[in-house]
Structure 1
Amino acid sequence: MKMYLLSLGAGLLVGVIYSLLNVRSPAPPVIALVGLLGILVGEQAVPLVKRLMSGNPVTASWFSSRCIPHVFGELPTGADHNHTGVSDRAQTREII
């Protein structure tokens, strides 16, 4: 429940900012995508600054293991999957 309230609060804050900038929701697709990218990159600024302030180096391996997966999600590896009776299709729910 806490996450839903935090999400609602963040949405309200973004709505206020949109109003102050005279941007009406739903925003045009390019503006929305740029904003989402900014959110994802901005979320990585805090761990990066914390690491720098603690005196630990920011290496390429740390960056690729800590930041890249969060921004880009789970990227496909192209490796052959073990097909032991597992369907590639997403499970669907049937509404009765």
Structure 2
Amino acid sequence: MIGYVLSLLMGVAAGVAYGLVQIRSPAPPLIALVGLLGMVVGEQMINTARHHLAPASAPIAQTDDARPDPNGLVAGQMPKRIDGAARSP
């Protein structure tokens, strides 16, 4: 959202600068900008329709992996050897 506001403010600043120098901006005429706005609105309508008409996804089932490990292992940690000997890399 900040990007849109910043873009609008920079556009206004450029318009003021062109107005002070009394030259026409190279921006397309208003009719072309309205057409571009229509294209953006149409694209958003399609995306919104796809989002609302898409089938709802099934809820994710909780598996046994979601429970804490009774041995207190952390992901990626190797289990200790039963005989207590240290592992060599």
Structures share a fold, TM > 0.5? no
Considering fraction of residues, name the structure with more helix. Answer: 1
Structure number with greater Rg is 2
- Structure 2 length normalisation: TM-score? 0.33
- Structure 1 length normalisation: TM-score? 0.32
- Identify the structure with bigger relative contact order (alpha carbons < 8 Å, sequence gap 6+): 1
